[in-house]
Structure 1
């Protein structure tokens, strides 16, 4: 009898576990996980290349509803979208979901960057980055940004009849990052880093199969070379700091200088390297895409171009003898920034993102199992007719009163505690660049307007334009 009771007591938890699993699996979102590892990754990547990713996702929504399971980049995932999804992603704390990128991104950028850190570690590293990137600190760098933009135009635009905008915008944003954030001057090292950086980006959204012929493998190798170069640069900055260099001369030096009450370095060398690589990607790719599509949209809309030019010429008139732009000048560029925001709405550089469930989560009537990936897409709310009437129309007046836009419907820089710390840096970079482009050049497009996603929007021919110089005021 005792044996029967013992067996019965032993079987109870097993029975409860099995019934719980059966009940949970029945509450999973509809959909298919597809083939192991690959899943629907290639389908999504092909759709992005063809610029039909939103249509591909809409087809899933019509078939499965607003929540569905999917397998992306080697992990079972749940796809969610909409205002509620955006709010869920940006307001949930680390006890519910955490930042965890797909393996390809985390392997290339590193596991100690902001995209991977949670809790106290995330706050510690973020606070360190914000100490350099906050508006009060960046005011003194407007002049340096001005000089970098004018130098770029002198080297790559003046005297030319035709240019390809996207490659040049990538060069410009990379040079600005290297000079202002990393203190890395022009030369062989910067050129090598630029090449490795391009290869590094190529495999960030890829199936994580590490074989010699894959983009993922090439990106890993490029990331390792970039990391070695950055390690050497950090060593040089550490020596400069010991010799009395200003802690504010660049971001790397600033991070090295931050110490606690025990005089210990707050940010480790590994964290500096991984976050420098993250900033290279975030500050380079997104800003170059924004500037490229601004040039494209201004070419297609003479009225918008004329209004931007008028605003910028008013500022230029008050800058005799080639004086540098100031923080106060940027504050006057209100219309230009509204044009930039509308460009971000129509052509978001970031397609979507990933999180990880740290426990079983009830969402929208379904279960998101622990350790599953959460895939969300920002741009689908930005093209929602119920939120933005006539969403395909380019209309900067939408941003005259930002408070009229429902929360979590337009989030080009993220939201909540994970809002992009480089937001203000991107704003300065964009406004200074557009100021000199429109006051010094006119242009017209030389090719069709088609673009693909890789994963950022990329004009298929690099957006070639015919340019003509304008007379300086």
Structure 2
């Protein structure tokens, strides 16, 4: 009897260990290396992006490890996944298993209460509040203000010039549109002060979170604090004006969010959530839209037939406004109905976004262990995805290096979760309609008033947004206005 008990005591741990090993073998980690602690593969990825070889760098990982692999990025253990199934997991995955979570540098600079960090009911609550201002029905009334900002911009920065540098000008334009429509900030001097700090802040968003005086990360943190202080003052001013009834709930995005109340008349969105989401929208509206406009100018200069088709569409819209009497500024302004007619121009924008997505990649976090493609994505690890992996997949988009706006003639023909310039599913970018409007208004006036050609080479880098050589230096020729 004693021998039997002793044998059982000996065998039980062995059986348990064998069982644990069998279970573990079916839940193995993806292939790959975590690299050097903290740094991991961060410098390699950033170097590849800055030489515009980020896609090749990721493709090499796929060739070496397959559709899923582990690495370390920006101080966190990470799993890289790609393809339509990966995009679906990222944008429509079970919110109890996968959540928004950006890198430590982005979170520290933009705050932890923005939409890219929130999940579950908090994400839904804040998103719905933002959409009450950013949905098409609300934005219709702001087309005239956007039109005015674009015309002022062209008069100030394009008129009378022989050459222009497109990217900084487009950033200036989108920032002024944000200040006008989202903040109702009218003073140009105040806008310029804001812009200077803002541009320095975003430089370190994709960086290794090492807080040393000479790093991009530290500089961005300092200017983030300044920008947040400026926004706090602005939010407080809006509060006072609402209380004094000198501002309306839909005057701008901030007053809209401050005015949101639930059934018990309590504020729906906190001051901190307003602050952090304004920061997020500033970055998205300023950087992504300006990149889209810049690369549309670049691709139109390289594709004369596409340029002519865009010009025909825009001239037809302008000519439909003519009448026997001289037109006022307001009569010439674009309307919501005019934008709806710019179907081909928007297809050009979509194809530009496919080929040069402003956002190269993004992150999520696993809230639980996730079984994916035969491997385990452990709880707490980052999930890393890259938009170009499906945008440039020839099995989805034939001849992916060819610029062809016809790909988007029928949206239903584009496979789900393959074009993700604006995200997808319930996590589609809430500002995509805002971006559509400002892009169409800007391109309308630029193609009507100017033709242009490149004065620099056709290359670009990512830092982390795409940056053309010399900021896209253009020689411009004004057209005779009818």
Task: Please give the TM-score of this superposition, normalised by the length of structure 1.
Answer: 0.96
CA contact under 8 A between 1:346 and 1:392: conserved in structure 2? yes
Q: Which of 248, 251, 254 is matched with 1:249 structurally?
A: 251
CA contact under 8 A between 1:237 and 1:253: conserved in structure 2? yes
How many angstroms apart in 2 are the aligned matches of 1:50 and 1:309?
Answer: 33
Task: Map residues 113-152 of structure 1 onto 2, 5 A cutoff.
Answer: 113-152=114-153
How many angstroms apart in 1 are the aligned matches of 2:438 and 2:19?
Answer: 56
How many angstroms apart in 2 are the aligned matches of 1:307 and 1:220?
Answer: 45
How many angstroms apart in 2 are the aligned matches of 1:31 and 1:458?
Answer: 31
Q: In the TM superposition, what is the alpha-carbon distance from 1:205 to its structure 2 partner? A: 0.5
Q: Which residue does the alignment assign to 1:412?
A: 421
SS state at 1:472 partner: coil
How many angstroms apart in 1 are the aligned matches of 2:383 and 2:280?
Answer: 21
Q: Which residue does the alignment assign to 2:31?
A: 30
Deviates more, 1:145-154 or 1:14-23: 14-23
CA contact under 8 A between 1:207 and 1:216: conserved in structure 2? yes
CA contact under 8 A between 2:292 and 2:352: conserved in structure 1? yes
Q: Which residue does the alignment assign to 2:356?
A: 347
Q: Which residue does the alignment assign to 1:300?
A: 302
Measured on the aligned residues, the alpha-carbon RMSD in Å equals: 2.0
Q: In the TM superposition, what is the alpha-carbon distance from 1:195 to its structure 2 partner? A: 1.1
The alignment status of 1:401 with 2:403, answered yes or no, reads no
Would the alpha carbon gap of residues 261 and 212 (structure 1) be closer, same or farther in structure 2, given more than 3 Å must change? same
CA contact under 8 A between 1:293 and 1:347: conserved in structure 2? yes
Q: In the TM superposition, what is the alpha-carbon distance from 1:262 to its structure 2 partner? A: 2.2
Task: Map residues 33-432 of structure 1 onto 2, 5 A cutoff.
Answer: 33-244=34-245, 245-320=247-322, 321=327, 322=329, 323-432=332-441
CA contact under 8 A between 1:24 and 1:367: conserved in structure 2? no
Would the alpha carbon gap of residues 21 and 186 (structure 1) be closer, same or farther in structure 2, given more than 3 Å must change? farther
How many angstroms apart in 1 are the aligned matches of 2:387 and 2:18?
Answer: 37
Unaligned runs of 5+ in 1: none
CA contact under 8 A between 2:134 and 2:431: conserved in structure 1? yes
How many angstroms apart in 1 are the aligned matches of 2:109 and 2:57?
Answer: 27
Deviations 1:83-105 (A, max 9, x none): 11111111212111000001001
How many angstroms apart in 2 are the aligned matches of 1:409 and 1:54?
Answer: 16
Deviations 1:55-74 (A, max 9, x none): 11111111111110010000
Would the alpha carbon gap of residues 28 and 179 (structure 1) be closer, same or farther in structure 2, given more than 3 Å must change? same
How many angstroms apart in 1 are the aligned matches of 2:171 and 2:68?
Answer: 36
How many angstroms apart in 1 are the aligned matches of 2:192 and 2:15?
Answer: 61
Q: In the TM superposition, what is the alpha-carbon distance from 1:20 to its structure 2 partner? A: 6.1
Task: Please give the TM-score of this superposition, normalised by the length of structure 2.
Answer: 0.94
How many angstroms apart in 1 are the aligned matches of 2:36 and 2:457?
Answer: 37
Unaligned runs of 5+ in 2: none
Q: In the TM superposition, what is the alpha-carbon distance from 1:465 to its structure 2 partner? A: 0.4
How many angstroms apart in 2 are the aligned matches of 1:113 and 1:259?
Answer: 19
